[in-house]
Amino acid sequence: MLHDVVTWCNSNVGFLSALLTLVYVIATLCLVLLGFLQLRAAFKLERARTRPVIILDLITEHAFVHVTLKNFGQTTARNIKVVTYPEIRTLHGGPNTMPAQERDEPIPFIANGVTMMPPQREIKSAVGFWPRFLSHYPQLRFSGYVAYRGSDQARYRDDFEIDLSAQRGVMHIERLGLHEVAEELKELARSIRHIATGFEKPLVRIIAEDAYRRREKKWAKRAMREAKRKGLFKDAVSKPAKEELDDPS
């Protein structure tokens, strides 16, 4: 049987050569296609890694609501357009504010868009006081999209949905800002300077509070007795009466 196979191959050398060449060509094409697919996948991954990512969000700080637009990506975004339903606007007035008349106006970067945002750039605007915000947007739900272009002119559109209902009724702890901290440090430095220069003397009590109060009462009683002994209270009472007697009217 092996002899028959060898004989057939010897008699069909041209056909076998063509068949092997076809197999080599198909294998080469498969390798080229596989390399192309791998290169395209790597390009897509790199493009997704370095693309701009523009996020619109609503955040609460203490009793205020702010809207932020930030580029979390690694490349610049251009021609940014923001669409929200309902439209997010700056709210003025309301209870416990001055003036109390309610009015609203558009937020520039939402109404007009943004021409360019570099990586990690953030734009922030106050929307309004939380009670005013709650009365104007009782549903506390917002949806929409952010459309923009990348540095390679690729188009992107990211849909979003914001729900602030979880923020309703939560408690806030007020924290001092940098300005308030700086003012407190200035006041502390001023007090230390006065003590160091002798302009102010700190009062240091080295006895217990009860002993201090008993001593103060004892000194007060002694001062009263001394004043009565010297007739200070008598002079203070009799002097107006004497002036009335001397008055000719």
Q: Are residues 74 and 159 in the same domain?
A: yes
The whole-number pLDDT of residue 49 equals 83
In a domain, 176, yes or no: no
The whole-number pLDDT of residue 22 equals 86
Q: Which long-range contacts (CB under 8 A, 24 or more apart) does 94-99 make?
A: 94/128, 94/129, 94/131, 94/132, 94/135, 95/131, 95/132, 96/129, 96/131, 97/129, 97/132
List, for residues 108-142, the tens digit of each pLDDT value: 999 999 999 999 999 999 998 888 888 889 888 99
The b-or-e profile of 70-95 (16+ CB within 10 A means b, else e) is bbebebbbeebebebeeebbbbbebe
In a domain, 38, yes or no: yes
Residue range of the domain that includes 74: 54-167
In a domain, 163, yes or no: yes
Q: Which long-range contacts (CB under 8 A, 24 or more apart) does 130-133 make?
A: 130/60, 130/63, 130/64, 130/65, 131/94, 131/95, 131/96, 132/91, 132/92, 132/93, 132/94, 132/95, 132/97, 132/102, 133/65, 133/91
- Give the lowest-confidence range in 42-46, 60-64, 71-75, 196-200: 196-200
In a domain, 74, yes or no: yes
Q: Are residues 40 and 62 in the same domain?
A: no
Q: Are residues 62 and 23 in the same domain?
A: no
Give CA–CA dist 58/64, Å, rounded: 10
Q: Are residues 7 and 44 in the same domain?
A: yes
Give CA–CA dist 103/99, Å, rounded: 10
Q: Are residues 41 and 68 in the same domain?
A: no
- Domain end position, chosen among 50, 71, 87: 50
Say which residue, 137 or 3, is predicted with more confidence: 137
- Domain end position, chosen among 31, 50, 69: 50
Report the mean per-residue pLDDT for the chain.
Answer: 81
The whole-number pLDDT of residue 244 equals 47
In a domain, 183, yes or no: no
Rounded mean pLDDT of 153-165?
91
Q: Is a pLDDT exceeding 90 seen at residue 96?
A: no
DSSP state of 167: G
What pTM did the predictor assign?
0.56
Q: Is a pLDDT exceeding 50 seen at residue 249?
A: no
Q: Are residues 60 and 123 in the same domain?
A: yes
Cα dihedral 111, 145, 64, 186 sign: negative
In a domain, 182, yes or no: no
In a domain, 77, yes or no: yes
Main-chain dihedrals φ then ψ at residue 98, nearest 5 degrees: -135, 115
Q: Is a pLDDT exceeding 80 seen at residue 185?
A: yes
Q: Are residues 117 and 157 in the same domain?
A: yes
- Partners of residue 143 on adjacent β-strands: 85, 161
Q: Are residues 58 and 162 in the same domain?
A: yes
CATH number, domain containing residue 138: 2.60.40
For the chain, how many structural domains are there in total? Answer: 3
Indicate the Cα dihedral angle 130, 132, 136, 140, nearest 10°.
Answer: 10
Give CA–CA dist 172/65, Å, rounded: 13
What confidence category does residue 248 fall into, taking pLDDT thresholds of 50, 70 and 90?
very low
Which among 162, 99, 178, 171 is positioned nearest to 130, based on CA atoms?
171
In a domain, 105, yes or no: yes
Q: Are residues 36 and 76 in the same domain?
A: no
Q: Is a pLDDT exceeding 70 seen at residue 232?
A: no
Q: Are residues 70 and 100 in the same domain?
A: yes
The whole-number pLDDT of residue 241 equals 46
